Amino acid sequence: MSSTATQPASSVSSASSGTASFPAPNPKEMQRVFDVQKRHFHKVLKVSKAKDRVVLLKKLLAAVERLTPEIKQALQNDFRKAPHETDLTEIMPSIAELKDAIRHVKTWMKPERVKTPVSLFGARSSISYEPKGVTLIISPWNYPFYLAIAPLTAALAAGNTAIIKPSEFTPETSKLLTKLVKETFQEGEVAVFEGDHTVSTALMELPFDHIFFTGSTHVGKIVMAAAAKNLSTVTLELGGKSPAIIVPGANLKKAAQKLVWGKIMNAGQTCVAPDYLLLPEGQTEEFVKQAKAAVKSFYGETSADIKNNKDFCRLVNQRNFQRVSGYIHEAVEKGGKVVMGGETDSSQNYIEPTLISNVPENARIMEDEIFGPVLPILTYKNLDEAVEKVLSKPKPLALYVFGSNNKHINKVLKETSSGGAAVNDVIVHLANPNLPFGGINHSGHGSYHGWWGFRTFSHEKSVFKQAPFSSIEMLYPPYNGFVDKMLQFTKKFFV
């Protein structure tokens, strides 16, 4: 879910990350499992009923609940993610997705009646939701459990099989996902292939019916190109530089608290984390004051307190640490000023929550998605200037606006484009299963969560049922005078 960062957030990467070596991919085994799933899909899942899918979803739900302690430990081992944060951002959202699908899959599966024009009198029309088939889910490292389980939930609810390729950058969580799947499903239903980017590349050679990828924009283009070879449909959940705009008159204390929480959660390694802040001129000092107060209330009074706080996780690996710390150093060299935090420790992949003001536009931190606990602050003279700044960059995955003036808020929402938006909050819009989650252009294609996930993994098949008598029969050849009159009548009254 990184935009142009050198270290993508997906497991389809050619870059070395310092992770353990993996065995070479086994295309024959991949083909075998693919064929097993294809047979199982056509014999069983293609004709499955709601109750059959609910059984699979309940098995997955039970496995998540049973393995919760192991999930927490795996994420702690991978990048010191706090158990409470794992509950909040990995376990609870997974359970919520599953329970929502279990409650609603029967309704989702029902054919949708649509109107038939009078010119086709007697016929009935509907949309039938049929499963796409064998699907591939390539999940990222930043939320390695939830971002595998959520699309899997949608795939199963829609009646598909799935092969999951988890990230090699979080090996403990990947092993845990393999264990969960093997203990819960038949090979023909769900399977996991662990490994590095070569495994993803080999898997994408297979003619999947749908590929669901979460990761960087750069790698998303690679996935889309690979899918094109087999004309596989794709869902790309990417990222980008999600802006936060504080409009004049906003409550800076509340805005700072929410922005600090959203930016520092998961050490900033969140695709919808605020990536830069646009603030009215003259308010930087007060905002920094309130942000410092929020950090102290969350993680401790001093830099040492923050560093030693077990609730503050680390960057996933050394390469990401070097990338993000490099952004800070370059921004300062080009005239930026660290106004909060700034401490780093390469031995722990630790970066203190950091604010940087006076950031020049040509700094890499203003070009790449940061994916770390660092927030650049830019100021604007008027709201038009702030909107222009957003429009000068690729469309982001999320946009945040803080304020109480509805005219200002509506101006920002109407004049900008983003995958999603939240007013007076950050990130939590993802928790509503009734809202589609996804990007636009550089930040992604397609959406999911709840009903939208079911649709993503389904083919919307048009079904037209003709009555014993068809008005169209009166327009069959030979095209004589009668047909001519009928055509004129139809065009005049029914078209």
Active site residues: 237, 271
Q: Which of 349, 309, 355 is nearest to 331 (CA)?
A: 355
- Residue 280 dihedral angles phi and psi, to the nearest 5°: -60, 145
DSSP character at residue 90: I
**β-sheet bridge partners, residue 421:** 399
For residue 370, the 8-state DSSP code is -
Look at residue 365 and give its three-state secondary structure. helix
CB half-sphere exposure, 150, CA atoms < 13 A: 32
Q: Which of 351, 372, 266 is nearest to 311 (CA)?
A: 266
Two tokens, residue 294: 């929020």
Q: Which residue has the tokens 């299963």?
A: 433
Q: Which residues lie below 8 Å from residue 389, measured CB to CB, with a gap of 6+?
A: 243, 278, 378, 380
Query: What type of residue is 474?
Result: M
The full length of the chain comes to: 495
Residue 356, beta-bridge partner list = 338, 376
